[in-house]
């Protein structure tokens, strides 16, 4: 993967160091410092960390009038945050309202960041340590979820509602100026695939009469600052700057006695707050102070699989429709008994059967489905079939309870819908994104404005409903998610429709990374089923040959007893360790297995292949370099755990059977030419 889920550098931590309400208006900023969890590696990963104001934790309840701004911020899954030097200061400020240089020379960095590329200024401070200024609202480095937490209705959680906007909104953590106060907190990554739990509170500070210390924290507690009595200071929290003054201990950030306040005009964004604070940050930078790491994602110990279409039907009438999918292994481990198909995309036509053109008359419905990131789909037996069908027009009386394992025939039955008088309990195993693609933006699957919010699937007819004059069904590689962040690439499908006209249907030949999309040209798909019926299967690309597909009258209502069965020749081929089904790549694209994304440091040509990926017993690394070559295997913390030096050879192998499952990095060194890539080791 190459999303932020699996860190190649050790996880870092974010500690609150200073917060300011600004000299007026909403000219606020939050200053964070980066701490390490491992004192042997030079950088730390802080992707997906949560930053928020009060969500009820500082006053013990989620209620209106508690200083709870709706929503929260998150550091994006971006390389900027993947390798951050401990001791780095991160200043997040309101990009639409900030103090100017005329007030304080240090505020000039706000102005510089606001006009810099992507609203980001990276510089060094007077102590020679890195500082990153981010203009929230102008930069993709900080995202926001505008939905939760909320004060009314009371919801102090972070998972389950809304999506993240690519560009954050400062008001999601806006600070309160009144005497009752507010606070700022950091939280561990969470609400992401393989780390689905609520983000744990890590550190924070609050101020005001309504707020208090946070005690009993899993990592650190939350400090609190008492404001001067309002009879002496009528401004209360307005025009205040709250800062840490510390040098003596790792846990000083949680000690309320180490926190003070001053006027906002005297704030020190990006610089040390005091001499003592400078020493504290220096101790972060030199690893004198290290902290406990947040929970890390659980690495799936399964083999990646592939999905293909074997049958689709318009049913005898109405929208009594279904699709039959088969599950197989990919090149990374063709002999796998079970495979992981979580996140695979299912859709009707999106123009792929019309030479990738959009428009009406092509059967393009809005939205798409995917297999949920559920354990049910993490280990699916190779050769299984999955029947996806419309619960709301179930004329074949197929099971109304979703399958969590295959039946004796190797079939999963997955109904979708539930709007009739006796609705189906939501089938959480299938999820839906209802906005894309559309007939006018048919190549778009991911939310272009931020993360893609999938919900329990519904609305068969308007999402993947099959048109009578022309349509199709397709499967795509995983994408639009925390692990596979890219657009899901086409893998296989079948279409039907007219051969001529403005909405002509034509077959898509198999190419690198996909099995093709055969089409049967017909004037109608009404009362018809189309299925894969080869005389034999000798290659994966047989699925893309239109000659192997036939049409027949749809099964009559209540007579679909064989639905879910597919070509015996294909099943034999799938379960016989086939070596020609391409694997999907980490970004959502499909690619031949055994190739991994390689970063070539010297910029010279050196082709490297690492396989199988995931590896269970032996990892092979092939390369095109000649002469003396050094191949290293590094663990998640960047430590070299195995090295081989060869001369005159183009491959090495490592016995990884006793390695801890997880993400590893390999490095191939040939003279000044260095190539690196990532592999998963699983059991």
pLDDT tens sequence across 132-141: 999 999 999 9
The pLDDT value recorded for residue 597 is 40
The pLDDT value recorded for residue 5 is 42
Res. 591: pLDDT tops 60 = no
Res. 157: pLDDT tops 80 = yes
Lowest mean pLDDT among 1-10, 106-115, 280-289, 622-631: 1-10
Contact (Cβ atoms closer than 8 angstroms) between residue 489 and residue 478? no
Contact (Cβ atoms closer than 8 angstroms) between residue 517 and residue 471? no
Res. 372: pLDDT tops 60 = yes
Residue of 540, 601, 544 whose CA lies nearest to 576: 540
Strand partners, 62: none
Res. 257: pLDDT tops 90 = yes
The pLDDT value recorded for residue 484 is 84
Lowest mean pLDDT among 146-160, 245-259, 388-402, 589-603: 589-603
The pLDDT value recorded for residue 227 is 86
Q: What is the β-pairing status of strands 651-655 and 618-623?
A: antiparallel
The pLDDT value recorded for residue 420 is 63
Residue of 454, 460, 456, 443 whose CA lies nearest to 349: 443
Mean pLDDT of 584-592: 58
C-alpha atoms less than 13 angstroms from C-alpha of 627 in its C-beta half-sphere? 7
In 3-state terms, the chain is what percent helix, strand and coil (to 5)?
10, 30, 55
The pLDDT value recorded for residue 301 is 67
Mean pLDDT of 103-111: 95
- Is the C-alpha dihedral spanning 236, 238, 239, 245 positive or negative? positive
The pLDDT value recorded for residue 589 is 56
Mean pLDDT of 505-521: 96
Domain with CATH 2.60.40.3080 in the chain: 594-681
Mean pLDDT of 639-653: 84
Local confidence band at 670 (pLDDT 50, 70, 90 cut-offs): confident
Place of tokens 């002469």: 627
Report the alpha-carbon distance of residue 514 to residue 589 in Å, rounded.
10
The pLDDT value recorded for residue 385 is 99
Mean pLDDT of 515-534: 97
The pLDDT value recorded for residue 196 is 87
The pLDDT value recorded for residue 608 is 82
Lowest mean pLDDT among 185-199, 373-387, 533-547, 653-667: 653-667
The pLDDT value recorded for residue 9 is 78
Cα-Cα end-to-end distance for the chain: 17
Above pLDDT 70, what percent of the chain? 93
The pLDDT value recorded for residue 410 is 98
Lowest mean pLDDT among 226-230, 247-251, 313-317: 226-230
Phi, psi dihedrals of residue 51, rounded to the nearest 5°: -125, 130
Res. 20: pLDDT tops 90 = yes
Mean pLDDT of 314-335: 94
Place of tokens 């996806």: 388
Mean pLDDT of 93-108: 94
Q: Which of 204-218, 418-432, 575-589 has the highest mean pLDDT?
A: 204-218
The pLDDT value recorded for residue 427 is 92
Contact (Cβ atoms closer than 8 angstroms) between residue 664 and residue 636? yes
Report the alpha-carbon distance of residue 457 to residue 370 in Å, rounded.
9
Res. 599: pLDDT tops 80 = no
Res. 510: pLDDT tops 50 = yes
Res. 558: pLDDT tops 90 = no
Local confidence band at 648 (pLDDT 50, 70, 90 cut-offs): confident
Local confidence band at 651 (pLDDT 50, 70, 90 cut-offs): confident
Contact (Cβ atoms closer than 8 angstroms) between residue 626 and residue 671? no
- Is the C-alpha dihedral spanning 396, 399, 401, 406 positive or negative? negative
The pLDDT value recorded for residue 674 is 78
Q: pLDDT digit string (tens) for 43-87?
A: 999 999 999 999 999 999 898 888 999 999 999 999 999 999 999
Res. 518: pLDDT tops 70 = yes
The pLDDT value recorded for residue 593 is 41
Contact (Cβ atoms closer than 8 angstroms) between residue 211 and residue 181? yes
Mean pLDDT of 528-551: 98
Mean pLDDT of 552-558: 94
Query: Which one is the CATH code of 594-681: 1.10.3720.10, 2.70.98.60, 1.10.3210.10, 2.60.40.3080?
Result: 2.60.40.3080
Q: Is 491 exposed, middle or buried (0-12, 13-18, 19+ CB in 10 A)?
A: buried
The pLDDT value recorded for residue 7 is 45
CB atoms within 10 A of CB 658: 7
């Amino acid at each position: 993967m190459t999303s932020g889920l699996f860190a190649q550098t050790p996880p870092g931590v974010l500690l609150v160091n200073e917060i300011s309400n600004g000299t007026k208006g909403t000219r606020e900023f939050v200053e964070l410092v980066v701490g390490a969890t491992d004192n042997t590696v030079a950088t730390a990963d802080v992707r997906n960390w949560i930053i928020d104001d009060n969500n009820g934790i500082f006053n013990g309840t989620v209620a209106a009038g508690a200083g709870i701004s709706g929503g929260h911020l998150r550091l994006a899954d971006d390389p900027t945050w993947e390798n951050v030097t401990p001791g780095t200061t991160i200043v997040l400020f309101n990009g639409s309202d900030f103090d100017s240089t005329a007030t304080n020379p240090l505020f000039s960095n706000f102005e510089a960041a606001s006009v810099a590329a992507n609203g980001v200024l990276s510089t060094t401070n007077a102590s020679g340590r890195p500082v990153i200024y981010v203009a929230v609202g102008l930069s993709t480095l900080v995202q926001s979820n505008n939905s939760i937490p909320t004060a009314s209705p009371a919801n102090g959680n972070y998972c389950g509602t809304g999506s993240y906007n690519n560009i954050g909104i400062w008001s999601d953590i806006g600070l309160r100026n009144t005497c009752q106060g507010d606070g700022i907190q950091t939280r561990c990554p969470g609400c992401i695939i393989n780390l689905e739990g609520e983000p744990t509170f890590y550190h924070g500070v609050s101020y005001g009469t309504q707020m208090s210390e946070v005690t009993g924290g899993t990592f650190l507690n939350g400090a609190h600052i008492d404001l001067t009595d309002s009879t002496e200071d009528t401004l209360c929290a307005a025009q205040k700057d709250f800062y840490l003054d510390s040098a003596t201990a790792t846990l000083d950030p949680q000690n309320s006695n180490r926190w003070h306040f001053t006027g906002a005009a005297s704030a020190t964004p990006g610089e040390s707050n005091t001499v003592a604070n400078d020493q504290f940050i220096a101790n972060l930078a030199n690893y004198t102070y290290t902290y406990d790491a947040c929970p890390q994602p659980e690495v799936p110990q399964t083999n990646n699989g592939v999905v293909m279409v074997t049958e689709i039907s318009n049913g005898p009438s109405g929208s009594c429709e279904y699709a039959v999918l088969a599950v197989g292994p990919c090149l990374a481990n063709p002999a796998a008994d079970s495979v992981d198909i979580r996140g695979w995309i299912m859709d009707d036509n999106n123009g792929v059967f019309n030479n990738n053109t959009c428009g009406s008359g092509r059967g393009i419905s809005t939205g798409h489905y995917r297999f949920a990131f559920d354990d049910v789909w993490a280990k699916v037996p190779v050769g299984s079939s999955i029947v996806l069908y419309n619960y709301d027009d179930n004329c074949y009386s197929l099971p109304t309870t979703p399958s969590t394992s295959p039946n004796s025939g190797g079939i999963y039955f997955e109904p979708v819908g539930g709007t009739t008088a006796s609705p189906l309990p939501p089938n959480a195993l299938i999820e839906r994104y209802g906005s894309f693609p559309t007939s006018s933006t048919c190549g778009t699957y991911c939310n272009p404005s931020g993360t893609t919010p999938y919900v329990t699937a519904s609305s068969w007819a308007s999402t993947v409903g099959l048109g009578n004059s022309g349509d199709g069904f397709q499967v795509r590689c995983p994408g639009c998610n925390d692990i596979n962040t890219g657009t899901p690439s086409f893998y296989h499908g079948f279409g039907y429709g007219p051969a001529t006209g403005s909405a002509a249907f034509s077959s898509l030949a198999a190419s690198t990374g996909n099995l093709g999309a055969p089409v049967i040209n017909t004037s109608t798909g009404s009362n018809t089923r189309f299925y894969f019926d080869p005389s034999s299967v000798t290659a994966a690309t047989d699925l893309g040959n239109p000659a192997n597909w036939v049409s027949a009258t749809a099964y009559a209502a209540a007579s679909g007893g064989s639905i879910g069965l597919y070509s015996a020749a294909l099943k034999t081929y799938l379960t016989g360790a086939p070596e020609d089904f391409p694997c999907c790549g980490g970004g959502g694209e499909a690619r031949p297995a055994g190739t991994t994304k390689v970063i070539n440091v010297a910029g010279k040509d050196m082709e490297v292949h690492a396989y199988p990926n995931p590896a269970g017993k032996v990892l092979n690394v092939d390369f095109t370099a000649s002469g003396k070559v050094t191949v290293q295997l590094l663990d998640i913390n960047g430590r070299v755990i195995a090295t081989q030096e060869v001369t005159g050879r183009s491959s090495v192998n490592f016995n990884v059977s006793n390695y801890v499952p997880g993400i590893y990095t390999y490095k191939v060194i040939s003279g000044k030419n260095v190539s690196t890539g990532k592999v998963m080791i699983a059991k």
